Structure 1
Amino acid sequence: MDNLEGLIIARRLRVPVGAPAESGPGWGEVAARQLDAALLSVGFTCSPALLERLATLPGESVVDLGVRVLAAVRTLVGDHVRHNAYFIDFPANVPDTLEFWAGLLREAMLDPVAAAEVQGPALNLLALPRYGRYQHSYADLLAAHAELIPLAGDRVTVLDLGGSLESEARELYFSLAGSQTPLAAEDLAALRTLAAYCADRPEDIPVRENRAVVNEVRLAAGLPLLVDTVTDVLRLACGCSGGDVTLATPTRLRSFRRAERRALLQALDAVASPAKLGDVTRHREQWKRLGERLHPHEYPQFPRAGHVFEVARGVRRAPSLDGRVEAALASGRTGEAVELLRAAPGALLRRLDHLLRTGSDASAVLEVAEQAAAGASGRVLLSLREHLQNRLAPAAGRVFTNRYGRAWTSPDFRAPLEEKVLSRALAMLDEEITRRLPDPGELIVDPEVLDVALPLSGKAVAPGLGMLPRGSVTAVEGDLLRFFVHWRQAQRRTDYDLSALMLDAAYGNATHISWTNYANDFASYSGDLTEASEGASEFIDIDLAAATQPIIVPQVHIYAGERFDEAAEAFFGYMTRDPAQEGMPFEPRTVRMKSDLRGSGRVTLPLVFLRGEDGGWRVKWVHLYLKGHPAFNQVEGNRLTTSALVRSIVERDYLRVRHLAGLLRAKASQTGHTTYIGLRPPATLPPDARVFTPATLHELIPA
C-alpha cells in the first residue's frame, strides 16, 4: 500500500488523504506545519488545501503520513542518498589535471608496494592508491561547506491535496491504461501494480503493450481477455512469463496451468482469422516456443488457434501485409502497394513519404491518404505531421531512435517533396486532428509550456522530477549550472564517468570536461570515482555567464562494470544556483531535473544546453543512448558521433504544445468548462477545470 501511495505522489504530485477526522486541539495543525517545513528543505511544499486537510487529522496520523511523503519526494529529487565528492572543496580548489596526476604518481613511487602495482607491464594510473575512492567521509564534506542560502529562485514544487488512495489509484490507472502513446518501462510496471489493485476495467486500451499488462491481471483472475489480434496473445504470454511485452527481446516462456492454456487458446481461436495469420511470421520463433507450452493439439475445439502454430512451423502459408507491400514497392508497383494499404490506414500513413516519392501520381496517393486519415490513430496523425513539417527544408542528417533510446544518424539522401504536396498533406492532417480534439471551453495555456514537445512516445523517457518529452525546450534559470550522476553497483566494480562536451555554434571546435580534463575557464569537475559499492556521485559545475561555447552536452559514460539497467541504482540530474549560493555539492532545493538511467547503451546523452541569440540559456531534452564500447568509454572517443546526433536533435522541428494549442483554440467555445495546459497548475483555477501538466500531457493526444 505504501508503494502505491509513493507511486501516486511521484507521478501526480498529489498526496492521497482520507476523509477529515476529529483531532486533538492543535496537534494535527502543528504536525502539518512541521511536515511543510521539512518538505521545504528538499524543495517541496504543501498546497493550502493539503495543509488545511492535514490539520483535521490526528497528529500521529500526520506524522506517519509525513514520513512516507518525505521518503517519496526525497527519492524523486535524488536526496535519498548521501552525495559525497572526491574533491572535498568542490567546486573550489579543483586542482590542475596534470598536477593532480603527478602528485598521486609521486606518492605512489615513494611506496614500493604501490609502485609495483602501478607499474606492472604498463603504467596504470587508475591503480594509484588514493585514486578513485573517497578520501574523506560525508561528515567531513558537510563540515567543509557552508549552509545553502535560500533564494527566491530555488525550486519549490507544490504537493496538492489528493482524494482517497482508491480514487487516486483509479485515476492514475485509467490515465496510464488509456494512454494513446507507448509507456516507459517504469510506467508499464506501475500499470501492472495498479491493474492488480483496481477492479475497474478501462473502456479503451489503445496501446497493445498496455493491454497485455492489464490482460495479465485478467488472466490470473479468470476474466475474459481483451484481445483483437493474434499478437495480443503472444504479448500476454510473454508478460505472464516475466518477459518483454513489447516483443523486442525473446522471452523464456514458463509452463502454463491447464486453465491458463485453455484461456489463451480460446482467445487465440477467437481472433485467428486468415487475414490476421500474416502477423505470425514476424515472431515465428516465439510462436514456436509458445506452442510447446500450450499444447494446442490437446484442444481440437480451437482449430483456428492451431492454424497459428502451423504458420509458425511453416506448414501453413500466410503472407503478411507488409511482405506483399514490400514486394509491390520493390517491383515499382506503387499503385498496387497503395491499394493493399487501404485496409490498414495506420500503415499507409506511416509509409506516406515513401509512397509520395515513388508514386507517379502524388495527387492520387494523397486522396487515398485523406480517406485513410479518418481510420488512423491520433498518435499516427501527429507523428506524420511532425515528420512532414521537417521535410519542408533539407536536414543536416537523419536521426533514428529505437524504443530504448539508442540512436544513430545517417545522411539524408531522400528526394525532396514538392511544397504544394506537403502543404496539402499538412492541411489534411491538421483538419483531421482538429476534428478529433474536444471543445476546450475556455482555454488557458501557460506560455512556459508552449515549447514542450508532444509526448508521441514515452518509451525512452524514464519518469522523474521535471522530465519532459524528447525535443522539449525550456529556459534555464540561474547562472551556475551543475550536473550530477549517482550510481551504486550491484555485484561487480562499476565505474561511471560524468563528462561534458562543449561545442561552438557550428557543432565543432570541441572541448570537454571529464576525468582527463578537470577544469577550464568556466567549468570544473568534482573528481573521478572508480567504484561504488556504497554509492558514488560525480558533479560538473558550469558558469553559464563565463561560458565561451554556446552548446554544452552532459554525458555519462560506462568506463567499466555494470550497465545502467544492471546497477543497483543509477540516476542523473542537474541543478541551477545563484552565484551568492554556496552549500553542499548536492542541494535538493536547487535540483531542476532528476531521472533514473537505464537502457542497454554504454553512453547516455540526457540533455543539451543551448545559448540563444539573446544570451539566455535553454535546455533541450534529448534522452539518447549510444552503443559505445564494451568498456573504457570516454568523451574523447565519441565527439564526432555526439556532435552529429546533437545537431540532428537540436535542428529538428518537433511538434509542440504550441501547435496543438492553436488547433484547440480553433474549437474553443469560451463557455462552460475550463481547460488549462501548463507546467504546473495555478491555485486560481475553477474546481471543475481540466488540467494538463507534463504528467498528464499524453491525455491531450486524441484517439
Structure 2
Amino acid sequence: MDNLEKLVITRRLRVPVDAPAGAVPGWGETAARQLDAALLSVGFTCSPALLGRLAELPGETVVDLGVRVLAAVRELVGDHVRHNAYFIDFPANVPDTLEFWAGLMREALLDPVAVDRVRPPVLDLLTLPGYGRYRHSYADLLAAHAELVPLAADRVTVLELGGSLEAEAAGLYLSLAGAETPLAAEDLAALRALAAFCADRPEQPERIPVRENRAVVNEARLAAGRPLLVDTVTDVLRLACGCSGGDVTLAVPTRFRSFRRAERRTLLEALDAVASPAALGDVQRHRERWKRLGERLHPHEYPHLARAARVFEAARGERRVVSLDGRVEAALSAGRTAEAVELLGNAPGALLRRLDHLLRTGSAPAVLDAAEKAAAGASGRVLLSLREHLQNRLAPAAGRVFTNRYGRAWTTPDSRPPLAREFLTRALAVLDEEITRRLPDPGELIVDPDVLDVALPLSGKAVAPGIGVLPRGSLSAVDGELFRFFVHWRQAARRTDYDLSALMLDASYGDPEHISWTNYGNGFATYSGDLVEAPDGASEFIDIRLAEATRPIIIPQVNIYDGEPFDEAAEAFFGYMTRDAAQEGRPFEPRTVRMKSDLRGSGRVALPFVLLRGDDGRWRVKWLHLYLKGFPHFNQVEGNRVTTSLLARSIVERDHLRVRYLAGLLRARGSAAAHTTYIGLEAPADPPPGSRVYTPGTLHELIPA
C-alpha cells in the first residue's frame, strides 16, 4: 500500500487521505502546519484543502502520513541523498585545471609511497593520491556554506488533497492503462502494480489501445481468473512473456517459465479465439519465441483447440503463411505501388505510416485518396505522428534523426526527394480535420501560455518520470541568473565513474568548447570537480552564469567513463537548479530544483536537454532525452562533440507538434457546453466542479483515440 501511495503522490502530486475508523481529532492542525513547514524546505506546500483535511485528523495520523509524504517528495527532487562536492567551496575557489593537477603532483612527489606512480614512462593522473575522492565530509561542506535565503522565485509545488487511496490508485490505473501512447518503463512497472491492486474493482478501462499496456493488465487478469483482453495472436505472446518476468515489448528474448495447467489452458483458449488464417502472418515476426512458448504450453494436449495449434505449426515452418508486410514489401520492391496501396487498404495505420514513401513512388492523387479513407480508421497517435512528420517535410531539414525505444539516437543526411507542396497541404488538411473531429468538446477552454510550447507526448518510452520533465522537443523558459545542472550516482557492485560535462557551441553549432574534468572553468561556467567512484554516492555540478555566457548553445551531458551502465547502477539521476545570483547556499538546494529524473537507457552518454539563448536574449531548455552509444570505456565530451552537435541540431530545428497545435483545434470546435477544460503546467487552485484538468502528468489523456 505504501508503494501505491508513493505512486499517487509522485505521479499526481495528490496526497491520498483516508480517515481511520473511529478517529478522534486531536492536535492535527499543529501537525499539519509542521508538515507544511517541512515541505517548504524542499520546495513543496500543502493546498488549503489538504491542510484543512489534515487538521481534522488525529495528530499521530498526520505525523505518520507526513513522514511518508516528505520522503516521497524528497526523493522526487533528489534530496533523499547527501550531495557533496569535490571542491568544498564550489562554486567559489575552484582552482585552475593545470594548477590543480600540478598541486596533486607536488603532493605525490612528497609522498614516498605514491612517488612511484609519477615516475616515467607512464603517468596516470587519475591514480594520484587525493584525486577523484572526497577529501572532506558532508558536514564540512555544510559548515562551509551559508544558509540559502529563500526567494519568491524559488520553486514551490502544491500538493493537492486526494481521495481515498483506493480511489486515487484506481484513477491512476485507468489513466495509465487507457493511454493512447506507449509508457515509460517506470510507468509500465507502475501499471503492473496498479493492475494487480485494481483487478477485482468494477472500474476497468473501456479500451487499452497500447499492446504493451494490455499485456500488463492481462497479467493481473490471468492471476485473478478474469477474462483476457486479447484480439491478436501477439497479445498472447506478450502476456506469456510478462507472466515469465520477461519483456512485454518483445524487444529482448524471454526465457519462458513453466505454466500451470490452468494457465496453459487459458492461454491456448485465448490464442485459439484469435488465430484466424489472416492472423497467422504475424507469427513469422517472432517465430523463435513462438517455438519456445509451444514447448511450455503443450498444445498437443488440447486437440480441440486446432486453430491455436496452427500458430505453432506456422512458427515451425510446417504451415506456410505470408504476412501482410511481406506482400506489401514484395509489391513495393517490384514497383507496384498501386498494389501495395490496395493491400494496405485494410490496415489504415500501416498505410499512413508508409505515406511518405508511397507518395514518392506512386501516383500521389491516388495515394492521397487512399490516405483520406484510411484516416478515419487509424489511431489518433498515428494521425498526430504523421502530422508532425509531414509538416517537417515542408522545409529542408539539416538531417534525419532516428531514436529507438531506449532513447538511443543517430542521424543521417536527408536524401529524400521533396514532396510537392500541394500534396502536403492536402494531406495536412485531411489530418487536421480528422483530429479535430475526434477531440472532446472543451467547453470553456483555458490554456496557460507557458504550456503552449510543450511537445505532445506521442511516446513516453525514452522519458523517465520525475519532476519538471517534459516530452522530447518541448521548450521551457529558464528563470534565474544561475543555472546549475547536477548528476548523482551510486555504484552497485564495482567502481563506477560518471563525468558531468557541457559542450558549448556558437549559433551555427560550431566552434566548440567544453567544461569537464579536463577543463574546470571558463569565463562563465565552473565545474565542481571530478569523482571517480561512488560506493556511498557521488555528485557533480556545473554552474552557468547565464548573463555572462558567450555561447548561445550549451549541451549538458553525462559520460560513463568507466563502470556500471546507467540502468545497472544502484542509483543514477540528473537534474538542474536555477537561483538568483545573490543566493548562496549549498551546491544542492532542493527548493531550487526545477527538474530531476532518473538516468537510464542502453547508451553510454546521456543528453537530457540543450540550453538555448533565443534572439530575444532569453534562455530556454529544449528537451532531448537522448543517449549515444559511446565507447565501452573512457567516454569524454571531447570525443563525441560532432555527434552531439548533429543530434542536438536535428532536434532543435525540428518542428515538433506541441500543445499550441491541439489548443488551436480545440478552440476551433467552439462549444456552448457548461464544463471547463484547463491545460497548464500546474493544476489550478479550486477549479470549477466538472472541470477537465490536463498537466504534463496527464497530457497523454489529450491524445485522441
TM-score bucket of the superposed structures, by smaller chain: over 0.9
Counterpart in the other structure of 1:163: 163
Separation of aligned partners in 2, 1:333 and 1:115: 75
Query: Is the 1:22–1:56 contact (alpha carbons within 8 Å) kept by the matching residues of 2?
Result: no
Cα displacement (A) at 1:670: 4.0
Matches within 5 A, 1:482-561: 482-561=484-563
Separation of aligned partners in 1, 2:306 and 2:117: 69
Quick one: which amino acid aligns to residue 458 of structure 2? Answer: L
Q: 1:221 to 1:61 in 2, by over 3 A?
A: same
Unmatched 5+ stretches in structure 2:
none
Counterpart in the other structure of 2:237: 234
Spell out, residue by residue over 1:113-169, the C-alpha distance to the aligned partner (whole angstroms, 9 max, x if none): 212245486211111110010000000000000000100110000000000000000
Q: Could you tell me which of 435, 438, 442 is aligned with 1:436?
A: 438
Secondary structure of 1:695's counterpart equals helix
User: What number of residue pairs does the alignment pair up?
Assistant: 702
Counterpart in the other structure of 1:75: 75
Query: Is the 1:605–1:625 contact (alpha carbons within 8 Å) kept by the matching residues of 2?
Result: yes
Cα displacement (A) at 1:310: 1.1
Separation of aligned partners in 2, 1:122 and 1:628: 26
Spell out, residue by residue over 1:421-464, the C-alpha distance to the aligned partner (whole angstroms, 9 max, x if none): 00000000000000001111000000000000000000000100
Cα displacement (A) at 1:285: 1.1
Counterpart in the other structure of 2:345: 342
Cα displacement (A) at 1:253: 1.2
Separation of aligned partners in 1, 2:405 and 2:20: 45
Q: 1:309 to 1:103 in 2, by over 3 A?
A: same
Shifted more, 612-621 versus 216-225: the winner is 216-225
Counterpart in the other structure of 2:10: 10
Spell out, residue by residue over 1:81-109, the C-alpha distance to the aligned partner (whole angstroms, 9 max, x if none): 00000000000001000110111012112
Matches within 5 A, 1:23-62: 27-62=27-62
Unmatched 5+ stretches in structure 1:
none
Counterpart in the other structure of 1:374: 376
Shifted more, 117-126 versus 450-459: the winner is 117-126
Separation of aligned partners in 1, 2:25 and 2:208: 48
| TM-score, normalisation: structure 2 | 0.98
Quick one: which amino acid aligns to residue 301 of structure 1? Answer: H
Q: Could you tell me which of 671, 676, 696 is aligned with 1:674?
A: 676
Shifted more, 285-294 versus 181-190: the winner is 285-294
Separation of aligned partners in 2, 1:119 and 1:367: 76
Q: 1:77 to 1:266 in 2, by over 3 A?
A: same
Separation of aligned partners in 2, 1:300 and 1:210: 31
Cα displacement (A) at 1:309: 1.0
Cα displacement (A) at 1:19: 4.2
Q: 1:22 to 1:38 in 2, by over 3 A?
A: farther
Q: 1:365 to 1:591 in 2, by over 3 A?
A: same
Q: 1:309 to 1:32 in 2, by over 3 A?
A: same
Cα displacement (A) at 1:338: 0.2
Q: Percent of counterpart pairs with the same letter?
A: 81
Secondary structure of 2:426's counterpart equals helix
Counterpart in the other structure of 2:311: 308
Query: Is the 1:21–1:58 contact (alpha carbons within 8 Å) kept by the matching residues of 2?
Result: no
Counterpart in the other structure of 2:224: 221
Separation of aligned partners in 2, 1:659 and 1:613: 23
Secondary structure of 1:218's counterpart equals helix
Counterpart in the other structure of 2:84: 84
Spell out, residue by residue over 1:624-648, the C-alpha distance to the aligned partner (whole angstroms, 9 max, x if none): 0000000100000000000000000
Is 2:603 the counterpart of 1:637?
no
Cα displacement (A) at 1:61: 0.3
Q: Could you tell me which of 323, 326, 330 is aligned with 1:323?
A: 326
Is 2:320 the counterpart of 1:281?
no
Secondary structure of 1:696's counterpart equals helix
Spell out, residue by residue over 1:365-392, the C-alpha distance to the aligned partner (whole angstroms, 9 max, x if none): 0000000000000000000000000000
Spell out, residue by residue over 1:277-324, the C-alpha distance to the aligned partner (whole angstroms, 9 max, x if none): 111111111111111111111211111111111111111111111111
Counterpart in the other structure of 1:175: 175
Quick one: which amino acid aligns to residue 245 of structure 2? Answer: G
Counterpart in the other structure of 2:270: 267
Q: Could you tell me which of 358, 371, 376 is aligned with 1:355?
A: 358
Q: Could you tell me which of 654, 657, 664 is aligned with 2:656?
A: 654
| TM-score, normalisation: structure 1 | 0.99
Counterpart in the other structure of 1:108: 108
Matches within 5 A, 1:75-154: 75-119=75-119, 122-154=122-154
Query: Is the 2:26–2:57 contact (alpha carbons within 8 Å) kept by the matching residues of 1?
Result: no
Separation of aligned partners in 2, 1:567 and 1:136: 24
Cα displacement (A) at 1:685: 2.0
Counterpart in the other structure of 2:581: 579
Query: Is the 1:22–1:57 contact (alpha carbons within 8 Å) kept by the matching residues of 2?
Result: no
Separation of aligned partners in 2, 1:322 and 1:609: 42
Q: 1:367 to 1:513 in 2, by over 3 A?
A: same
Q: Could you tell me which of 688, 693, 699 is aligned with 2:690?
A: 688
Cα displacement (A) at 1:222: 1.8
Separation of aligned partners in 2, 1:103 and 1:140: 22
Cα displacement (A) at 1:20: 8.7
